[in-house]
Amino acid sequence: MKIAIVTGGASGIGRAIATSLVARGDTVVVADINEPGAKHVADKLNTLGRGRAIAAALDVTDAEAVETLYKDVHAEHGRLDLVFNNAGIAIGGLAEELTLDHWNRAIDINLKGVVHGVQAAYPLMLRQRSGHIVNTASLAGLLPMPMGIPYTATKHAVVGLSLALRAEAAGVGVKVSVVCPGFVDTPLLANINPGLPETPMSGDGRTQIKKQAGGFYTPERLARDIMRGVARNQALIVAPASGRAIWRGMRLSPRTVLRVAQFAAARYRREHHGR
């Protein structure tokens, strides 16, 4: 049995990860800014009769709150085996449609939320000389994704942070992985630019994203990929297979992938701005 924390655990990828962990017998703290949602997920997982789920209210932009939760979990159980820094939001729109508010919210949640999780978990794992930190980035952290540059920038940063930390942590018993999924059918896509100035992509972006990128992967299938990648201690967990193909294409021919991105941006601009 392992002791795990999953941020953004009330829905989507986080909920699927928490479900996989509890189903195999682990004790999981389901942490989310949506406390009722986290409690609903934990209550449901506790009916599985296997592991245990505990709900916790957590705003990942609050570094002190993150540190307190991680330390409390460690103190209660004597160790902290797995941390999934997964909470995030979607930002969509062309650069000229976005404001500094969009940038700041993306940085605060998608990047600093991960930084806060790492800063809280890593010292604990260093002392116990064990543990695995798993940060959720995106395929947008490996590719140029237009119509969402703040999102893309923060996810690239999470990839870089994770791989560099992995190099540092390798000799001290701590493992680090970063998850880079393609488009996954989660509530994140149904709430683009939450509480922020609107762009043509605000609100439910499923239709527009599907037009640009094709189909979606399910959180449950991604969670299986993540569990397999964690078990194998993969540095980069890229899924689905179509995402891995695009990533390989980027490495082999960056110019081709950039041209595809340019085409997508041009089509979006024509459709929404007539130019």
pLDDT at 207: 62
More confident residue, 159 or 203: 159
Q: What is the pTM of this model?
A: 0.95
198 contacts 94 by C-beta, under 8 angstroms: no
Half-sphere exposure of 148 (CA within 13 A, CB side): 29
Mean per-residue pLDDT, 113-133: 98
Predicted confidence (pLDDT) at residue 265 exceeds the cutoff of 80: yes
Active site residue 151: yes
Segment 120-130 shows an average pLDDT of 98
185 within 8 A of 218, measured Cβ to Cβ: yes
Encode pLDDT of 223-260 as tens digits.
999 999 999 999 999 999 999 999 999 999 999 999 99
Nearest of 194, 210, 219, 182 to residue 91 by alpha carbon: 194
Task: Give the SS3 label for residue 241.
Answer: helix
Share above pLDDT 70 across residues of the chain, in percent, rounded to a whole number: 96
Pair 31, 38: CB distance under 8 Å? yes
State residue 22's pLDDT score. 98
Cβ atoms of residues 210 and 106 within 8 Å: no
| DSSP β-bridge partners for residue 13 | none
Q: What is the pLDDT of residue 188?
A: 83
pLDDT of residue 183: 87
Section 163-191 average pLDDT? 94
pLDDT tens column, 67-112 = 999 999 999 999 999 999 999 999 999 999 999 999 999 999 999 9
Higher per-residue confidence, 48 vs 204: 48
Catalytic pick from 122, 151, 217, 268?
151
Percentage of the chain modeled with pLDDT above 90: 91
CA dihedral 260, 266, 271, 275 (to 10 degrees): -170
Determine the pLDDT at residue 186. 87
Is residue 213 predicted with pLDDT exceeding 60?
A: no
Give 1's pLDDT tier (boundaries 50, 70, 90): very high
Query: Cβ neighbours of residue 13 under 8 Å, at least 6 residues apart?
Result: 86, 136, 179, 181, 184, 186, 219, 222, 223
The mean pLDDT of 10-19, rounded to a whole number, is 98
**What is the pLDDT at residue 212?**
54
Condensed to tens digits (0 to 9), the pLDDT of residues 31-44 reads: 999 999 999 999 99
CATH 3.40.50.720 for domain 3-273, yes or no, is yes
* Measured CA distances, 58 to 85, 112, 153, 189 (Å): 12, 14, 24, 21
Burial of residue 35 (CB within 10 Å: 0-12, 13-18, 19+) is middle
Question: Comparing C-alpha atoms, which of 4, 257, 7 is closest to residue 116?
Answer: 7
205/194 Cα distance (integer angstroms)? 12
Q: Give 116-161 as a DSSP string.
A: HHHHHHHHHHHHHT--EEEEE--GGGTS---SBHHHHHHHHHHHHH
Other CB atoms within a 10 A radius of the CB of residue 111 amount to 20
Average pLDDT, the chain: 95
Output the pLDDT for position 124. 98
- H or E stretch at 272: helix 254-273
pLDDT band at 157 (very low <50, low <70, confident <90, very high): very high
Sequence-distant (6+) residues with CB within 8 A of 137 are 155, 156, 158, 159, 162, 178, 179, 180
